[in-house]
Amino acid sequence: MPPCLAPFRAADHVLQSLHDPPAEWSEEQQLAIVEFFRITHEYRERAKVESTPVYIRGCDKQKLIRVFGRIFFCATLQDVEYRPRTTLLSKFGNYGQTWNSEETGNVLIEIDTSIPLHSTSNLPCVLSLLLHECTHAYFFSECCYSLCGSERCAEIYHASCGALTHGPAWQILAHTVERKADFVLGMHFDLRRGDAAAQQTREEEDLGDPLLDCLFGDAAKHRIRG
Ligand SMILES: [Zn+2]
Ligand SMILES: [Zn+2]
């Protein structure tokens, strides 16, 4: 169980670690940036010779999650698991989700690798989706998210994250990470912050609606997810 750390405080740790100019970032962060370029260069080279969309299926997302953790999230996310899905989310317009898996005891990131989105997407699009989920994974790894059962934590969590995790603490973290990723990784990241905020508002209104269970199936049991 992660500690009872308030989400705003967790976000603040990241903001501080990214505050200095990249030239002054830690050796860990700088080596991870080099690793990122090595991985993405390999994918691009393979994409030239393979007809299948290697950006999607060939891209080692587990490795990229660890690299993102080292660059942007205070060297966390090293135990986060990745699992591809093919049917779960795309019909509802969501292509990724993250939660604390009871099954393994680790934070789990799932990305829907089904078509049509991924047959036409490019590397920045997939990486943006992955980085979006990493922002959720960071909170899940560092904050109890009220899973401790404390009422106080539940209040703090709700105020800073909202019912579906795209609240103000997430927005601050995502905004900073997105801007820094553009700058140091040399491609345009879009963490879909606006869409996430709109979805949050919509789904908060829907909470308590029995239709939610029909719509989200067993995912509805994991109300705390992003
Ligand atoms: Zn707690
Ligand atoms: Zn999200």
Ligand 1 center to 10 CA (angstroms): 13
Per-residue pLDDT reduced to its tens digit, 194-221? 887 777 666 666 654 433 333 333 343 3
Which ligand has an atom closest to residue 195 CA?
2
Residue pair 164/220 in contact (Cβ under 8 Å)? The answer is: no
Residue 119 sits at φ, ψ, to 5 deg, of -75, -25
Indicate the pTM of the whole model. Answer: 0.84
Ligand 2 center to 49 CA (angstroms): 33
Ligand 1 center to 82 CA (angstroms): 25
> In this structure, is the dihedral angle defined by the CA atoms of residues 191, 43, 104 and 1, taken in order, positive or negative?
negative
Residue found by looking up tokens 């750390």 in the block: 5
Per-residue pLDDT reduced to its tens digit, 31-83? 999 999 999 888 878 777 766 555 556 678 899 999 999 999 999 999 999 99
* pLDDT reported for residue 215: 37
Per-residue pLDDT reduced to its tens digit, 93-139? 677 889 888 888 899 999 877 654 444 457 788 889 899 999 999 99
Residue pair 184/131 in contact (Cβ under 8 Å)? The answer is: no
